[in-house]
Structure 1
Amino acid sequence: MTIKNTISEIWYTRCPVPTPVGLAVQLGFLEEAFAKEGVKLNSIIDSKDRAIRSSHFDHHLNYSFRHGGNVPPIRARSEGNPTRLVGITWTDEFQAIITLPGSGIKTTKDLVGRRFGIARRPPGIVDFMAATALKGLVSALSLEGLSHKQVEIVDIALTDSVLDGREGPQLYGLRNRQAYGAEIAALLRGEVDAIYVKGTGGIAVANLIAAHTVVEFGFHPDPRIRINSGSPRVLTVDERLAEDRPDLVARLIETLHRASDWAEAHPDDVRRFVAREVGASEEVVASANGPDLHKHLGLGLEPELVAAIGHYKDFLYEWGFLERDFDINAWVDRRPWDGIDVRAVA
């Protein structure tokens, strides 16, 4: 029996955000492609087993792949977890610093000396939302030549892990809790003066409280300003899958290109599919991701994309979110791309 015949199932996961993996799953492309190889796909994030779901964050499962926010896989790599970076997707999204209309904070310069709230989860899984908010704050302040040292950073303590709260009456039948609930509560109680929000969740809560946008930079022309946990997002595979079945990794990449090509030809359907993926209305998706979302669901490993991940990796290390530093280029595995003619993918 050959190695090729020994893999009967693969674990996969994706974040509830716009990704070609999410599209490929909804379209049935991934299931179809892997079924032809005799491989069953199992969803990590939908598992009832907490130990399996944790692989969404630490990438510990053999024969698995992940597409989504970059902080957990970067952290996993820094801890020595044997993974490979095989693709990058850059889909810009709404990013902003918001406050209440009566706060007196009109512009970024008004943040000096004010309280900026950052939700902090208990130790364990890397606190990717705290990292995201910090990078958002640093990016926003840099536009005015300001430093984070000129702002009072206030921790908003959370008691639950990101793995908790996946079920129960507090969800009211939904898949996930509304993003930024704790931050908005702290803002309304007057415990903080401003917070960072992003994506469809950020748009929704800003609309809910009629917030004042201090600064919005999710579509800023300088990519270093936009770089954050979701910009860009990464496709990673574990080492055993990369080494034992590089053909399946290549098939994965080909299938995602098929989904990306489909997206470019179906802008209205993309908005509908992404709305289902993120649990938001199509109106919110259009506002959060812009009118050209369908053109930004591709996959690549171009040097500028790798450099963007390296830039954010350096930020995470500087701010203490990583176990140790590592060489971003040593993480990249371009072998699955060899021989793939993306133009021929149909």
Structure 2
Amino acid sequence: MTTTAISEIWYTRCPVPTPVGLAAQLGLLDETFRKEGIELKSIIDSPNRDIRQSHFNHTLDWSFRHGGNVPPIRARSEGRKTRLVGITWTDEFQAITTLPGTGIRTTQDLKGRRFGIARRPEGIVDFMRATALKGLVSALSLEGLSHADVEIVDIALTDSVLDGQEGPSLFGLKRKQVYGEEAAALIRGEVDAIYVKGTAGINVANLIGAIQVAEFGFHPDPNIRINSGSPRVLTVDDLLAEERPDLVARLIETILRASTWAEAHPDETRRFVARESGATEEQVLAANGPDVHKHLGLGLQPELVAAVSHYKDFLRDWGFLASDFDVGTWVDRRPLDLVTIRAAA
């Protein structure tokens, strides 16, 4: 069997806790692929907007991605030829917040009130909107309510997520402050409550003096916690999966090395996650809890695949997908199985 020779591989990850991000910061990814004579190139850091767009639509050949699940699920629904080769579940803060003057103190108080959700222009899948909607539905369901019990108010944005990575308004930063527009609408009194998550959500809530109506990022029912970042998925394009499955296995081995390192280095891991997320260690502790170092693994256990399928169904039902598909047929277990066989040998 002839092995296709390649000189470079594109990769990308979201600025959130992932073992790929940890492996990149530790230098393990570069080391692994350098030994194979391959240069690793970052999609999200490319100056070329068309290349950066692959972070959201998975168009580049010879590439892999680890991060939020909405863009790769959407890309698969559009017929993009990709494979799901690993899943990571790292719980994080998810909450409905309001301002003290609204009189809202409990989820029941949201009934009949205005819930603000940002809406971006057509083009790249609006994953932040999908995230906020799932958060709202989850929170309401815990009190026997549904989205019909609140007034969903669109907070119309004029820029795409790619625009949010460019321009003078960034003041030298890599990206806009997440939840900034929602917080502004809340302060202006245009909405009564918003959804926030992760370190960015905690930061914004703290900044505007918000109060917490409901927090459910660590709820015991996984169907409540499931959202765009819970779980996060590792996907590769078909060409890489079929032509160089050995490299996909090497990638997974490297990620698992980073996961093992994290479990033995809790303080350093929190520091790396803070750097990855553009947050402080204090914010990481508040958003992800003291055991984040124990939740940077990678697997394809049935419950993880079921979680991805559960959220895929939510995205389908709310109109975020181009077409439906079976998550089971998306999963490619061969690279992880190969790693398991090698480890056993």
TM-score, normalization: structure 1?
A: 0.98
**Aligned residues of 1:88 and 1:232 also touching (Cα < 8 A):** yes
Superposition deviation, residue 255 in structure 1:
0.3
Task: Name 2:187's counterpart in structure 1.
Answer: 188
Q: Does 1:215 align with 2:219?
A: no
Any idea what SS the aligned residue of 1:76 has? helix
Pairs within 5 Å for 1:1-346: 2-4=2-4, 6-341=5-340, 344=343
Letter in 2 for 1:249: V
Partner Cα distance (2:107, 2:62) in 1 = 46
Superposition deviation, residue 2 in structure 1:
4.1
Partner Cα distance (1:87, 1:119) in 2 = 30
Structure 2 portions without partners, runs of 5+: none
Structure 1 portions without partners, runs of 5+: none
Spell out, residue by residue over 1:71-100, the C-alpha distance to the aligned partner (whole angstroms, 9 max, x if none): 000000000000000000000000000000
Any idea what SS the aligned residue of 1:86 has? strand
Superposition deviation, residue 342 in structure 1:
8.4
Superposition deviation, residue 167 in structure 1:
3.0
Spell out, residue by residue over 1:234-283, the C-alpha distance to the aligned partner (whole angstroms, 9 max, x if none): 00000000000000000000000000000000000011001110101100
Partner Cα distance (2:259, 2:341) in 1 = 10
**Aligned residues of 1:17 and 1:278 also touching (Cα < 8 A):** yes
The percent identity for this pair of structures is: 78
Superposition deviation, residue 169 in structure 1:
2.1
Letter in 2 for 1:52: I
Partner Cα distance (2:132, 2:302) in 1 = 26
Change in Cα spacing, 1:342 to 1:150, as seen in structure 2 (3 Å) is farther
Structure 1 stretches of 4+ with a deviation exceeding 2 A read: 1-4, 341-345
Superposition deviation, residue 341 in structure 1:
3.3
Partner Cα distance (2:57, 2:144) in 1 = 36
Partner Cα distance (1:192, 1:222) in 2 = 29
**Aligned residues of 1:257 and 1:342 also touching (Cα < 8 A):** no
Letter in 1 for 2:119: R
Spell out, residue by residue over 1:138-161, the C-alpha distance to the aligned partner (whole angstroms, 9 max, x if none): 000000010100100000000001
Letter in 2 for 1:98: T
Number of equivalenced pairs: 344
Partner Cα distance (1:250, 1:276) in 2 = 27
Superposition deviation, residue 102 in structure 1:
1.1
Spell out, residue by residue over 1:283-319, the C-alpha distance to the aligned partner (whole angstroms, 9 max, x if none): 0011000000000000000000000000000000000
Spell out, residue by residue over 1:89-145, the C-alpha distance to the aligned partner (whole angstroms, 9 max, x if none): 000000000000111111000000000000000000000000000000000000001
Superposition deviation, residue 343 in structure 1:
9.3
Superposition deviation, residue 340 in structure 1:
1.5
Any idea what SS the aligned residue of 2:339 has? coil
Any idea what SS the aligned residue of 2:271 has? helix
Letter in 2 for 1:15: C
Partner Cα distance (2:253, 2:274) in 1 = 24
**Aligned residues of 1:58 and 1:73 also touching (Cα < 8 A):** yes
Partner Cα distance (1:339, 1:321) in 2 = 34
Any idea what SS the aligned residue of 1:214 has? strand
Partner Cα distance (1:338, 1:169) in 2 = 47
Change in Cα spacing, 1:29 to 1:142, as seen in structure 2 (3 Å) is same
User: Higher mean Cα deviation, 166-175 or 20-29?
Assistant: 166-175
